[in-house]
Amino acid sequence: MNVHGSTTTVLPIEDSSQVGHARRIAQGMAAQLAFDETDAARVALVATELATNLLKHAHHGALHLRSIPAQTGSGIELIAVDRGPGFNPSECLADGFSTGGTQGNGLGALMRQTQLFDIYSDNRGSVLLAQLYPRHVSALPLRYGVSQHSLHNDPACGDAWHLAVEGRKISALVIDGIGHGEEAERAGLAGAAVFATAPFADPATSMLEMHHAMTGTRGGAAAVSLYDANAGNVRFAGIGNIGACLLSAEKSRGLASHPGIVGSQFRKANAFDYPAAAQQLLIMYSDGLQSRWDMRDYPGLVHRHPAIIATLLHRDFCRGRDDVTVMVIALEAVHD
């Protein structure tokens, strides 16, 4: 299984006219991804409900949309993001509960329309995740989340990512082409393309191959994480400022990169082995995200879906002056 980069579409939800716009964009995306009329209508309903809830409870926020790969075909991921007062998810999922004087069946109805639904909410805001697939399509077994955004919504994104799963191994790549725009994108895609040809090579070998492929471009930062469930470890190689860590409910361990530029100022990439357990998360991110965050500031977040975690980290720690990619992978996804 190979999965590669798709940039997140962000739709601001600040007034009622934008609810209809979000519904049309989501339904159009569903049609492009071969959802039939009934399944596309489910997507439209979920988009409408999420956007309406943003206005009703947080007064403004954003709806993030992304196509997601499935075992055959594709699905759609919709994530509502806000900085409102928060709520108790367990209460609000119960039909009949309402904070706004309505019938109170919104979130419960949402959950029934989706194949996957998850929430994180605290006093800094809420993130609601919905994933939908056509009825004949099944989700991938890998639990992961990616939040990728180009600077100023530029059509070109200098960040690139790739994920591959084979048996009990997961291989993950994040590249940040220098700068942003088309030339940065060209550098990132050149590295990602050569990585995709042999994603389970030793990470040090992958870095060298990407260096050759990115020579003649602007170059960039890159990091490769290769998780082997049989060996119980992550083998990691990084050049430049791609952040990476292994995270559990109790602790976090950073993965070390070396200075340099892949495609330009490059010395031999050394790979290091880190013990890793199935219950851990692997998080990788470009330097469009601040590195000074601590998951312990968000009680219970580590147990939520990786897409919730990636989106919340983007919400609270995006620098706002570069392309940004946050990838979160649940390592328990590969098992017997």
The closest alpha carbon to 27, from 4, 5, 11, 7, belongs to 11
Question: CA–CA separation, 112 vs 126, rounded Å?
Answer: 20
Once rounded to an integer, what is the mean pLDDT over residues 110-128?
Answer: 93
CA pair distance 35, 26, nearest whole angstrom: 11
147-178 tens-digit pLDDT: 999 999 899 999 999 999 999 999 999 999 99
Domain 144-333 has CATH 3.60.40.10: yes
CA nearest to 158, candidates 217, 94, 114, 90: 217
Same fold, 2-132 and 144-333: no
* Residue 136 pLDDT class (50, 70, 90 cuts): confident
pLDDT for position 104: 37
More confident residue, 279 or 224: 224
DSSP secondary structure string for all residues of 308-324: HHHHHHHHHHB-SSS-E
Q: For residue 143, which of 323, 3, 319, 294 has the smallest C-alpha distance?
A: 3
Query: Per residue in 252-275, pLDDT tens?
Result: 999 999 999 999 988 888 999 999
Residue 329 has pLDDT above 50, yes or no: yes
The confidence score (pLDDT) of residue 93 equals: 57
d(CA 224, CA 239): 9
Domain positions in the chain are: 2-132, 144-333
CB burial string 122-151: b at 16+ within 10 A, e below: beebbbbbbbbbbeebeebebbbbbbbbbb
What would you measure as the largest C-alpha separation in the chain, in angstroms? 63
What average pLDDT does this structure show over 171-191?
Answer: 97
- b/e per residue 291-328 (b: at least 16 CB within 10 A): eebebeebeebbebbbbbbbbbbbbebbeeebbbbbbb
Using CA atoms, how far apart are residues 143 and 1, in angstroms rounded to an integer?
13
Looking at per-residue pLDDT, the higher value among 91 and 12 belongs to 12
Report pLDDT for 2: 76
Mean pLDDT, residues 192-203: 97
For all residues of the chain together, what is the average pLDDT?
91
Per residue in 86-116, pLDDT (tens digit) is 887 766 655 544 444 443 346 777 888 899 9
Measured CA angle at 119 (ends 116, 123), to 5 deg: 170
Answer with the residue of higher pLDDT: 68 or 268: 68
Higher model confidence: residue 251 or residue 211?
Answer: 211
Q: Please check the confidence at residue 304 and state whether its pLDDT lies above 60.
A: yes
Predicted pLDDT at 250: 85
Which CATH number does 2-132 carry?
Answer: 3.30.565.10
**SS3 (DSSP) at 335:** coil
In percent, how much of the chain has pLDDT > 70? 93
81 burial type by CB count under 10 A (0-12 exposed, 13-18 middle, 19+ buried):
buried
What does the pLDDT read at residue 103?
37
CB atoms within 10 A of CB 7: 19
d(CA 207, CA 191): 9
Average pLDDT over residues 22-37: 96
Q: Residue 170 contacts by C-beta under 8 Å, 6 or more apart in sequence? A: 142, 163, 164, 225, 226, 227, 282, 329, 331, 333, 334
- Which pLDDT value is given to residue 202? 98
Q: Is there a contact between 180 and 245 (Cβ–Cβ < 8 Å)? A: no
Q: Is the pLDDT of residue 21 over 50?
A: yes
203-214 vs 182-197: helix axis angle to the nearest 10?
Answer: 140
Residue 23 tokens read as: 């519904």
